Amino acid sequence: MAQKRKANEAPATEEHAPPPHLQPGSQVEISINDKGFRGSWYTGTVIRRAAQSSRNNPLAANNYLVEYHEILNKGATKPLRETVHAANLRPLAPRETSRKFKFAEDVDAYNDDGWWEGTITKELDNGNFHVYFMGSKEQMEFSEDQLRLHREWVNGSWIPPLEEGDEQVKKRVPAEEEEHVEANLQESTPLAVLKYQKVDHAGSSQGPSKSK
Model's pTM, two decimal places? 0.69
Q: Which CATH architecture has domain 106-159?
A: Roll (2.30)
The confidence band for 121, taking pLDDT boundaries of 50, 70 and 90, is very high
Q: Which of 203, 200, 199 is nearest to 26 (CA)?
A: 199
Supply the pLDDT for residue 163. Answer: 73
The confidence band for 202, taking pLDDT boundaries of 50, 70 and 90, is very low
Domain ranges of the chain: 20-92+172-188, 106-159
pLDDT tens-digit series, residues 59-99: 567 899 999 999 999 999 999 999 999 999 999 999 888 88
Q: Which CATH architecture has domain 20-92+172-188?
A: Roll (2.30)
pLDDT tens-digit series, residues 19-36: 999 999 999 999 988 888
Q: Matching CATH topology for 20-92+172-188 and 106-159?
A: yes
